[in-house]
Amino acid sequence: MLGKTHLVFGLFISLLGLTLFDIGNPIGFLFIVLFASLFPDIDEPHSYLGRKVKFIGWIFKHRGFFHSIVWMGLCMWIVYLLFHEGIYIMGFGVGFLGHLFLDLLTQAGLKTWPLPHLKGKIHVGSWVEMVFFWFLLVANGYLVIKGGL
């Protein structure tokens, strides 16, 4: 999926969480979910984060280690060391898993070691992704209005 789709899906997850649960620091939660929803693509040289640290894309293959549960766990541990806040750890995990879920829907799929290579039917940047993107934007607007956020 494109970065903008990962971002609006991360926003959707955040708004859904803020609507359903009493989250102590909603702004912090929102920002960490949004960051984590983009973070796995740090190994993609053309992504927003990948352009900031180009050397990672030169060394690592896209949708490899940085799209793994092991990497997610290490990052969540770092978030714990930095903030000591469960809501931030959970937010990072939710955003990261949301990213992996969306990548599973694409034809490129995801190498989910030790499981087999899993993939879906959606072409990255296709009209199907664009319809999904616009659906998420509308759903986000609804959650903002309905949730009084």
Residue 113: the pLDDT is 63
Q: What was the pLDDT predicted at 52?
A: 85
Average pLDDT over residues 23-41: 95
Q: DSSP letter at 40?
A: G
CA 120 to chain centre: 17
Q: Which amino acid is at 17?
A: G
- Taking Cα atoms as reference points, which of 18, 2, 13, 3 lies closest to residue 139? 13
Mean pLDDT of the chain: 91
Q: Where are the domains of the chain?
A: 3-147
Compute the distance between CA of residue 136 and CA of residue 103 in angstroms, rounded to an integer.
Answer: 16
Q: How far is Cα 138 from Cα 134, in angstroms, rounded to an integer?
A: 6
* Cα–chain center distance at 71: 13
Output the pTM of the full model: 0.90
